[in-house]
A and B are shown apart, each in its own frame.
Chain A
Amino acid sequence: MKSKFLVLAISSLIYLGVACSKDNSQVIEPEELFAVPANFPKPVYDFSKNPLTKNGIELGKTLFFDGNLSRDGTISCAECHSQPSAFTHHGHDLSHGIDNKIGIRNSMPIQNMAFQKEFFWDGGVFDLDLFSIAPIENPVEMDEKLGNVLEKLRKQEKYTTLFQKAYGSKEITTERFLKALSQFMLTLVSANSRYDKYVRKETGGTLTPDELEGLAIFKQKCASCHSGELFTDLSYRNNGLPVYNKEDTGRQRITALEEDSYRFKVPSLRNVAITAPYMHDGRFYSLDAVLNHYTDGVIESKSLDSSLKNNQTLGIALNKDEKAKLTAFLKTLTDEEFLKNKKFGI
């Protein structure tokens, strides 16, 4: 009995010690850093291996905006992933990287990363923590070596301080670097469009009759692939684009499966109105061009998605009026709060 009391007394003392040693200003509700929107699915990212902290996110953000991640110091992540364009590269079909070199793909928006199981148009990367190595080492993007980036950061007092704050010691390691970038990217959640407020029945969530009709058309004709609240089923499909670059076989580059040739990730449609150009190679400059492709431009091929083959007709049947209403609906997916949130900028 006596010993039990002793254990209790000691443990409460330890508890008190821990509780009191905490600086109250540092106590942050985890929801403040990352919260799953009420209408969203469960995150795919395993937060237990990289718990978000205010300082971790701050470090990640600093890295995201730092040109030192590229060979010659000119290209930061934000160069091709800029906030006003939902963290993609506005105005370029194919993203421009170092020495103004042009890649083979249109950069994708960085948003709702916690909910993706694979990254890039071909899904070649399966872990957000491994994602950042690709643009850093791509010769036409940042053309740098990961090891060199870490060396450059180690020489800057700014970073030794930021790493110290985020991880409790100054060491700059691959894991810490990549996970800090993940932390910042994970916070880039876009879920406050007018559409979201409409489905969550929040103030400001009113859709016009045209937009509502557009939503109904969308559900009927588009949502088999652009499904759920992420507006993608995360699959890879051939949507009947004429092949402009034979070399870029999409998902097939990863799986080597014949059936995957010219299949690309079904992209999310969140913020779609402001993330032109469209498609993996940025060939369409407007939503009109995209819808015209689906009504008139779909090309038959072995791997063409079955949902675009109905009897003998290819593509999706939409008249002019339906297209206008669909476009009106798609514009309700623009999340101004996300695009203007000062938290995401420097």
Chain B
Amino acid sequence: MLYSQTFSGGYLSISIHFISKQIISVCWDMIAYIIKTRDYTFTLMKKFSYLLIALFVSAIIVSCQKDDAINPNDKNTVTLEFDNRVGDQKLVLGTTTAKNALNEDFTVTRLNYFVSNISLKNENGEIVKFTDKYFLVKHSDPTSWLIKLDNVPAGNYNQVSYIIGVDSLKSVSDVSQRKGVLDPASYGDDNMYWSWNSGYIFFKMEGKSTAIPPNMMNTTEYQYHVGGFGGMTGKTPNNLKTITLPMTTTAQVRANTAPQIHIINDIQKVFSGVNQISIAKTYMVHAAEAGIPIGQNYAKSFIVDHVHNEKD
């Protein structure tokens, strides 16, 4: 596809576009004049008209191609932005109050999840995979909301896919393969690893709710910790969720375009995406089996809201 439906930015492309339009218009005026006057008397003029036509054609080509041609050797960065929201409200940890479908109020004090196995599919159906890249989105750390994917080949991408969690291969890997956000020593008080049942906590949401009945632990807090990759030596529950999202506006990677895909995660759906979760009944989830309904819910909480294709 040579034609872009999106707006373009950047001085260089605007000026090239402008100059070629000027050339077309000047050429057209002169050709019209020659045809109209049938003034072929001067050989010089005849030659000049050929030159004009050549200039005209090439200007049209430049103008139409603009900078939308996909050069397979070009590469650029694609950024996924994870924008966590509560319904139509901004999510401020510990502050934003909302109600679930069962009219139970809640706040969110912690929201963390792993994103891995990201892939992008282009209009030709070709898939670019980003293997061995693991990200931990923590709502408390805005820098973690942006996931940068480097060296993405130029193309128009209309689908993004990722796993919420840490795939089974990585979950059983040697400790030498567990670096960065996968280092079990890296979590401090905000743990994302189950040591008693070896595996990562894929998704964690904690907060307060007045719906929680008086209980032995005297807690007013709900804690949803979801993990479970399927087990290594024995089969265990599997809460790995692959999220596949279409993009109506393609992400157009070019030498001068590094698209940003803006993903909204509506955590309201954590309570109601597929299964209605009552906070009064379910407020402590710390095991794979108990986390299954919540996992099914957040598998439906993500959408691509829009794509930015601004040029550099």
User: Which A positions have Cβ atoms within 8 angstroms of B?
Assistant: 49, 117-118, 120, 123-127, 129-130, 133-134, 136-138, 145-150, 174-175, 177-179, 251, 253-257
Smallest beta-carbon distance B67→chain A, Å:
46
Is there an interface contact between A255 and B175, defined as CB atoms closer than 8 Å?
no
Count residues on chain B whose CB falls below 8 Å from chain A CBs. 28
Cross-chain contact of A117 among B178, B233, B235 (Cβ < 8 A): B233
Binds A, one of B18-26, B179-187, B245-253, B270-278: B179-187
Do A255 and B231 touch across chains, with their CB atoms under 8 A apart? Answer: yes
| Interchain CB contact under 8 A, A130 and B191 | no
Near A by CB (< 8 A), chain B positions 166-197 give 172, 174-176, 178, 183-189, 191, 193, 195-197
Contacts of A49 in B (CB 8 A): 174, 176
CA distance A179 to B175 in the complex (A): 8
| B residues 50-73 in Cβ contact with A at 8 Å | none
Nearest-Cβ distance from residue B286 to partner chain A, whole angstroms: 10
**CB contact under 8 A between A145 and B188, given known A130-B195, A253-B197:** yes
Does B188 lie within 8 Å of A254, measured CB to CB? no
Contact of A174 among B184, B195, B235, B287 (CB under 8 A): B184
Are B175 and A175 neighbours in the complex by a CB distance under 8 Å? yes
Contact indicator B195/A133 (Cβ below 8 Å)? yes
By secondary structure, the B interface counts as loop
Separation of A243 and B178 alpha carbons in the complex (Å)? 38
**A149 CA / B287 CA spacing, docked (Å):** 26
- Chain B, residue nearest A252 (CB): B289
**Chain A neighbourhood of B172, CB < 8 A:** 126-127
Bound CA span A150–B195, Å: 16
A sample of 17 cross-chain residue pairs with beta-carbon separation below 8 angstroms, ordered by A number, consists of A117-B233, A118-B233, A120-B196, A125-B196, A130-B198, A133-B193, A137-B191, A145-B187, A147-B185, A150-B185, A174-B183, A175-B178, A177-B185, A251-B234, A254-B236, A255-B236, A256-B236
The answer to whether A255 touches B234, judged by C-beta atoms less than 8 angstroms apart, is yes
The 6 closest A-B pairs by CB, nearest first: A256-B289, A133-B195, A134-B195, A146-B185, A124-B197, A147-B185
Contact residues in B for A123 (Cβ distance below 8 Å): 233-234
Question: What A residues does B288 contact at CB under 8 A?
Answer: 256
> Of A124, A146, A149, A177, which contacts B198 at CB under 8 A?
A124
Given A137-B191, A256-B287, A256-B288, CB of A129 within 8 Å of CB of B175: yes
Query: A117 CA to B172 CA in the complex, in Å?
Result: 13
Chain B residues 218 to 241 lying within 8 A of chain A, measured CB to CB, are 231-237
B295 to chain A: closest CB distance in Å?
13
Cβ-defined contact, A134 with B196, below 8 A = yes
Sample of 8 more A-B contacts, CB < 8 Å, known A138-B196, A254-B234? A49-B176, A117-B233, A126-B232, A133-B184, A134-B195, A175-B176, A255-B234, A257-B235
Q: Are A125 and B237 in contact (CB under 8 A)?
A: no
Are B178 and A254 within 8 A (Cβ)?
no
Chain A nearest CB from B292 CB (Å) reads: 9
> Shortest beta-carbon distance, A344 to chain B, in Å?
24
Given A138-B196, A254-B197, A256-B288; A147-B186 close (CB under 8 Å): yes
- For residues 140 through 180 of chain B, which have their beta carbon under 8 Å from a beta carbon of chain A? 172, 174-176, 178
- Picked from B176, B188, B195, B235, the residue with its CB within 8 Å of the CB of A125 is B195
Instruction: State A255–B288 Cα separation when bound (angstroms).
Output: 9
- The smallest beta-carbon distance between B189 and chain A, in angstroms, is 7
The answer for the CA separation of A134 and B196 in the assembled complex, in Å, is 5
Quote the shortest CB–CB distance from B40 to chain A (angstroms). 77
Knowing A174-B178, A175-B175, A256-B287, say if A126 contacts B198 (CB, 8 Å).
yes
Most buried by B among A124, A138, A254, A256: A254
